[in-house]
Amino acid sequence: MTAFAGVSPRHSRRPPPCKLRTTPRPQEGGRRPRLGSCVPATFLGPVCHRSSADCVLCRKAACRPNFSRLVVLQITQVTPFLVDTGGSKSWLFVKLDTDEGLVGWGEAYTQQDRDAAMLAHLVEMGRHLVGRGPFAIKHFSSVMYLDYALRRPAMEFWSALSALEQAMWDIAGKACGQPVYNLLGGPCRARIRVYANGWSEQSRTPDQYAQRACEVVARGFTALKFDPFSNPWRTHIGRAEEDLAVERVRAVREAVGSSVEILIEVHRRLAPNESIRIAGRLEQFQPFWYEEPIDPEDMAGLAEVRRRTSLPVVTGEALYSKAQFAQVFAQRAADILNPDVCNCGGILALKEIASAAEPWHVAIAPHNYNSTSVGLASTLQVSACIPNFLITEYFVNFASLGSEIASRPFEVKDSHIELPTEPGLGIELDESALQRHKLPAERRPRHIRTYEEEQ
C-alpha cells in the first residue's frame, strides 16, 4: 500500500459512497474534519465518490479536504463603507467577497478631512485585488508599495493597504477554519490587556479630568490615557498652559490612586527642550509612559528626549514603514512602539515590526484609534502573537456604536479582552447598520485656525 505508514487496515475496505456537494458551506459544530475522513463539503472543497485517484485513507481523493482549492480561491468584489460616528472621527471599512462565498472585513485608519482621500485609495487599490487570491497577502502588499505607490507612499496609502490586508487575513482564517493568530505562529497569551482612551473628551478643568477618570476606573479599567494639553496644538507653549497640563495630570493621579496606570499623550506637539522640561515635572506622578513627546520626523531630537527623562518614551502611530521604524532602533529613540494595524500596512506588517523590535528590547503597544470592531479585532489577533506585547488601546467613547455594527462585539473585563476563537478575525459587521450610519457626501469641514486667532 502506498499510503502513509500506520494506516489502519479497516481503511482498505471501500466505504459507502459520499454524496456530492458542489456548494461549500461553513463547518458544522465548529470542528474541522480530520484529513482523509469522509465528510460533507467544507470551505476547502466539495466531496465526491466519483474519482479515479486513490485517497490516502479511503481511496476517494475528493473525500479529502482539497487544499489546492485554497490556492484558486479568488476575490470577486471590494466594497467600502465610510461610517459617520457622530464625532470628528469617521470609520472606513472594506468588505471582500470571494467566488466561494467567503467574506473578509478590514478597516483603514482615518483622519478628519482626509478620509475621502483614503476612501479613494481604497477603491483604486481594490481594483487590483479583484481576481487575486486572498492568500497572496505578502505579494499583494509588496506590489502595492512597488507598483502602485512607486515607493512614494503616504498615510492614505498605508491606511488603505492595511484595510485590504486585514480583510485578506480574515478570509484566509475562515478558509482554514482557524483564528488568524493560529496562522501567525499561535498565541502567546489568552487575553489582551487594554487601556481606556477617549474618556477625557470635553474635559477642561483638572476636576473634570479627575471625575471622568474615576468613572473609567469604575468600569474596570486599570490603565487610562489622556492628553493633558490644550488645543490648538503648538510647538511652543506658555507657562500658564504648561502649568494647567501638569495640574490635570496631578488631579487624575490623586483621583485614581497609585494602582491605576496613567499614560500621557502629547501628540507630537512639543519642541524637544519643552518636552524634556515638562517630562521632568511629570515624573513625580509616575506615568506609565510619555507618548510622542515630539514629532518623530526629528528622530535625533526624540532620542535626546529619551536620554533626558526617566519616563518610558513611546512613538510609532505616525510611522508607517519598516524603514521608519528601523531608524527608531538605530537611534534608540524609544522604549515602546505603538504602530497602528490600520495604517502600518496591516497585520503581517505589525508582526514584522514587533519582531524587529525584540532584539532592541523595545516593547509593542499597538495604537488603535479605530473602531471597537474590525480595527480592534485585527489588533487583538496580532497582539496575541507578539512576545514583546505590552498593552493596546480601547476607545470607550466608540464602544456603543461599535456594538451596534458588530455581530459579536468584544467585551472588556478587568481591562482585558479574551481572544476570539472564531475563524478569521472573529468579528462580523452588520451591513444594514453600516448603511444607517453612512457618512454623508456633503459635510461641514472642521475649523482650521486663521492667523488672527494665533496668540
Model confidence pLDDT, tens digit, residues 326-336: 999 999 999 99
- The SS3 call for residue 18 is coil
Q: Which class in CATH covers the domain with range 182-436?
A: alpha beta
- Residue 42 binned pLDDT confidence (cut-offs 50, 70, 90): very low
Q: Which residues are designated catalytic?
A: 267, 367
Q: Supply the pLDDT for residue 35.
A: 33
Sign of CA dihedral 67, 68, 69, 71: positive
Q: What is residue 284's DSSP assignment?
A: G
Sign of CA dihedral 338, 341, 343, 349: positive
Q: Domain 74-178 classified CATH 3.40.50.11540?
A: no
Beta-strand ranges (E) seen in 168-260 are 191-197, 223-226
The shares of helix, strand and coil residues in the chain, as percent rounded to the nearest 5, are 40, 15, 45
Q: Supply the pLDDT for residue 416.
A: 99
By the 8 A CB rule, do 90 and 112 touch?
Answer: yes
CA dihedral 201, 206, 210, 216 (to 10 degrees): 10
Distance of CA 158 to the CA centre of its chain: 13
Structural domain boundaries in the chain: 1-72, 74-178, 182-436
Tell me: pLDDT of 32 over 80. Answer: no
Q: Give me the chain's average pLDDT, please.
A: 88
The C-alpha cell 496613567 sits at 262
What's the maximum distance between 2 C-alpha atoms anywhere in the chain? Answer: 89
Tell me: pLDDT of 143 over 80. Answer: yes
Q: Supply the pLDDT for residue 68.
A: 56
Grid coordinates of 178 = 482557524
Report the alpha-carbon angle 365-116-93, nearest 5. Answer: 50
Q: Supply the pLDDT for residue 345.
A: 98
Please write the tens of the pLDDT for every residue from 160-171: 999 999 999 999
By the 8 A CB rule, do 325 and 350 touch?
Answer: no
CA dihedral 180, 184, 189, 190 (to 10 degrees): 20
- Helix or strand holding residue 96 (H, E): strand 90-98
Please write the tens of the pLDDT for every residue from 392-445: 999 999 999 999 999 889 999 999 999 999 999 999 999 999 999 999 887 777
d(CA 439, CA 205) in angstroms, rounded, equals: 33
Query: Which residue did the predictor score with more confidence, 447 or 217?
Result: 217
- Residue 88 binned pLDDT confidence (cut-offs 50, 70, 90): confident
By the 8 A CB rule, do 78 and 129 touch?
Answer: yes
d(CA 198, CA 368) in angstroms, rounded, equals: 11
Tell me: pLDDT of 3 over 80. Answer: no
List Cβ neighbours of 214 (8 Å cut-off, separation of 6 or more): 255, 256
Question: What's the average model confidence in pLDDT over 368-396?
Answer: 98
Q: Do 182-436 and 74-178 have the same topology in CATH?
A: no
d(CA 232, CA 255) in angstroms, rounded, equals: 26
- Sequence-separated contacts (24+) of 258-261 with Cβ below 8 Å: 258/286, 259/222, 260/217, 260/221, 260/222, 260/223, 260/224, 261/195, 261/222, 261/223, 261/224, 261/288
Question: Which amino acid, 106?
Answer: G
Q: How many CB atoms lie within 10 A of CB 80?
A: 18
Grid coordinates of 133 = 487570491
Q: Supply the pLDDT for residue 5.
A: 37
